[in-house]
Structure 1
Amino acid sequence: MRHPRNDAGLPEIAGDAVLIAGGARAILLQLADPAVGRGVARHSDFEDRVLDRLWATLAYVYAIVYGDDGEREAAVRSVNRAHAPVVGPADGGAPAYSAFDPQLQLWVAATLYDTATVVLERTFGPLTDAAADALYLRYAELGAALQMPPELWPADRMAFDTYWQQRVGELVVGDEVRALSRRLLFPSGLPACLMVAMPVARLITAGLLPSRVRALYRVRWSAGAEARVRGILRVTGLVWPLLPRPVRQWPKNRSLRSLHAAP
């Protein structure tokens, strides 16, 4: 049965593959939480499976935001299996971590929501209040479908902005996470067609990050780089809606179909 609130008020473009442009941004924000970064560094074969991690994250978002009950349940089972071994004690001033920690799940969900909003608005212009509210309510379920109590999600978009500014101000990036970021942005073993696109992907990722987070990752930035990102996103916003809908939404549809084959 299709979730009754699944598409109500959501902008159609929110289900498009254009969200892939924000995948690395969301991961870099997640890693900048010391507990998340430590967990990924110790429990993820990140260097060898960069695309798999990006795809798994996007697939979960598609399932929770757009999937029917069966697709959502399959996605949650998959994430819970992956999260089960990700746990470790505090050590030498480094924080304890658990992938089942509700506060960490709140942060991960927040990065995905903020990234979706930033990508959509910088590419296509501001969302209407109704569309923005609908998107916000649906992304609240990313954490609530796991172990995050629903009441942890900020009550509205204004409350979220307060939470977001505070959390971005608390982020810390050390050498370990900085090394992870290089593996994400300079991956090895990609198909040639994707390797050619990586310089543009790195530019867009950096341009979408909050300025403080760019500085934490020691990304060099300039007015010229900012202008290039604006130009790329402006052209994308003009051309993207002209593509056939099945092409634009192929990743979402493929992802949802694959969940039916999941154990």
Structure 2
Amino acid sequence: MPGKQGYFPADSMAVRVMSKRAVGLTYGERALVVGATNPLLYVGTAENTSHRETPYNRLALTGRLFEAVFLGTKAEADRALQFTRKKHERVVGGLSEAAGPNHPAGTRYSARDPHLMYMTMAFTFDSAEAMHDLLVRKLTDGEREGLWQDFVRWAELFGMPRSAAPATYREFRASFDTYLASDQLFLTAEARLVGAHLAGAEKQKYPLPGTLRHGAPVLALIVQGSLPSRIREIYGLRWSSADELAFRIAVRTMRAVHFRPRLAPAGPLRIALRGPSAPSYATLARGERELIRSGRPSMPGVDTTRRAQETA
């Protein structure tokens, strides 16, 4: 995918960052975990998805659509954009019960709401930036600005008005960090369950091939360690000094792996570190489907029967 003629040229910050597999395999889960603290985004998604009980299938689908726009040809991107717009036409509703003091019952949501479109992009950008800084290298100020502008363009392709987003990275960082520290964040009971699950709070149950099976615990550790401490506190995720030490070792190892290929000719390792991550998510999604077919739930505690009765 990377290097094809699409909406983002091969030397753009979007392609340079999003084609790193260390970013591609971690930013999505982190974005969903942090983003679940926005009750309108979480409820709007949960009430209008066919993957409510299979979050890794939803993550795989989202990752494939996002990568098609970032890394694919214009034709591939346009198909992903058309599919997403069609899905979003039906995402309209309201909170059936209060979700904290700032979101009373009846608060309306829509996938076409410019602010909610911006918030979706903001959570995605924040996680892509964080994972690149952690696992590859820290971006320069100029690279951050370039990545921000690419993400704004990306969100525009999905329909977000340009005016919905801050004009510069500096403005975004100030406003988003203020938001994360505010009382706007709230976890519904289901969001807490699903978010903790995606953060790797439970041992992986899926029948995965060797490389993914051995790598999943490390990726879970990295995702949890990358979360702002307040987000871990909201979820009630325990984080010990031993966890922090293991996290730091994993991060240093990953950064070292990325540093060496920059000094050497292109080879298998350098090639393996770059490319689309959707195939790995698809493998995880297949494991989740096998789990469901065997009669074991992927998400114990998520009740879709009540929603089916309400919409019947």
Q: What is the aligned-residue RMSD (CA, Å)? A: 2.6
- Which residue of 2 is the match for residue 44 of structure 1? 49
**2:10 corresponds to 1:7:** yes
SS in 2 for 1:126: coil
- Which residue of 2 is the match for residue 32 of structure 1? 37
- Which residue of 2 is the match for residue 191 of structure 1? 208
Unaligned runs of 5+ in 2: 98-103, 262-267, 281-312
- Closer, same or farther in 2 for the Cα pair 1:7/1:129, shift >3 Å? farther
What amino acid is the match of 1:138?
D
Report the Cα distance in structure 2 between the residues aligned to 1:120 and 1:250, rounded to whole angstroms.
14
Higher radius of gyration, 1 or 2: 2
What TM-score, normalized to structure 2?
A: 0.72
- Which residue of 1 is the match for residue 234 of structure 2? 216
Report the Cα distance in structure 2 between the residues aligned to 1:192 and 1:217, rounded to whole angstroms.
30
Percent pairwise identity: 24
Q: CA deviation at 1:22?
A: 2.2
Report the Cα distance in structure 1 between the residues aligned to 2:275 and 2:95, rounded to whole angstroms.
42
What amino acid is the match of 2:20?
D
What TM-score, normalized to structure 1?
A: 0.84
What amino acid is the match of 2:87?
A
Q: CA deviation at 1:86?
A: 2.3
Report the Cα distance in structure 2 between the residues aligned to 1:69 and 1:197, rounded to whole angstroms.
33
- Which residue of 2 is the match for residue 178 of structure 1? 192
Report the Cα distance in structure 2 between the residues aligned to 1:61 and 1:35, rounded to whole angstroms.
21
Report the Cα distance in structure 2 between the residues aligned to 1:191 and 1:232, rounded to whole angstroms.
21
- Which residue of 1 is the match for residue 69 of structure 2? 64
Q: CA deviation at 1:254?
A: 6.8
Which deviates further from its counterpart, 29-38 or 235-244? 235-244
- Does the aligned pair in 2 maintain the 1:113–1:136 contact within 8 Å? yes
User: Which structure has the highest helix share of the two?
Assistant: 1
> For each residue in 1:126-163, what CA deviation from the matched residue of structure 2 results, as whole angstroms up to 9, or x when unmatched?
21233222211111123211231012111111101122
- Which residue of 1 is the match for residue 265 of structure 2? none
Report the Cα distance in structure 2 between the residues aligned to 1:207 and 1:46, rounded to whole angstroms.
27
- Closer, same or farther in 2 for the Cα pair 1:8/1:141, shift >3 Å? same
Query: Equivalent residues in 2 for 1:1-263 (5 A)?
Result: 2-3=5-6, 6-10=9-13, 12-19=16-23, 20-46=25-51, 48-92=53-97, 93-94=104-105, 95-168=107-180, 169=182, 170-184=184-198, 185=200, 186=202, 188-191=205-208, 193=210, 194-240=212-258, 242=261, 243-251=268-276
Report the Cα distance in structure 2 between the residues aligned to 1:22 and 1:5, rounded to whole angstroms.
19
SS in 1 for 2:9: coil
SS in 2 for 1:140: helix
- Does the aligned pair in 2 maintain the 1:65–1:138 contact within 8 Å? no
